[in-house]
Amino acid sequence: MRCLLPALLLVACNGDPGETTQTVGYRDGLDGGPNSGERGNLNISEILWAGSVRNDGTWDRKDQFIEIRNEGNRPMNLSGWFVELDGAAERVWRIPEMDFELDPSQHMFIATKSTGCFPEPDLVLPGLEIPFGDPFRLTLRDADERMIEPAGSTEHPPYAGGYDTVKARSMEKIQLMFGGRGSDPHSWHYYTPAEVDIPNNDKVAVNCRENTLASPGRPNSPDYSGAYAAGSFE
């Protein structure tokens, strides 16, 4: 009986511990601040790393942008999120304060400036510069530095896009209904001009559309094989 006494005393002394405080915080954005992200709910859907080319042939290598698409089911405030560059160069940029939310299935694009071929970016991120033709990986992280989506590789040249001394093309993510990780080369293709009812290059300046092939802030073009999907099951 003596050997059971300590155990009985232990039970008697242990009360209700209450709710634990060691939980992972989640920002819902309801206070006007940023949202936390869930991996895969947002992705980097287009990268113009090769610069822009005006219709007169003038090439501006530093006129670049990245596009983000909301794949989730609720609006997201990306204020204070991070864009991390690894590979041939290493840098981290923080997304400035946003006065809007990115709605589900919507795109936004962040440009290096608004004085080049992309005069109406959703955000300007001064100093944004992606290496030309060298291996790079861009990683989107939320305000708490959780990894949301990688794009590209630190070991291989860019998966798509480029400048052929005449035209510059962006690197677009194939709009798959499921899957399609940004770190996989088969998830990307070159911007492809296509006959569509609603042009997707309207946010490229008119004096650049002939030689700058990209779709900033708009749905991506289908890949060359037509292997893409959109919409729902309905």
Q: List the chain domain ranges.
A: 34-213
Q: Tokens representing 109?
A: 């694009």
**Range in 59-63, 159-163, 206-210, 223-227 the model is least confident about:** 223-227
Mean pLDDT over 203-230 rounds to 82
Count Cα atoms within 13 angstroms, Cβ side, for 3: 0
Task: Indicate if the pLDDT at residue 13 is higher than 90.
Answer: no
Q: Is 223 exposed, middle or buried (0-12, 13-18, 19+ CB in 10 A)?
A: buried
Q: List all residues 6 or more positions away from 59 whose beta carbon is below 8 Å from its beta carbon.
A: 51, 52, 53, 163, 168
pLDDT of residue 36: 87
pLDDT of residue 15: 56
Task: Indicate if the pLDDT at residue 106 is higher than 60.
Answer: yes
CATH number of 34-213: 2.60.40.1260
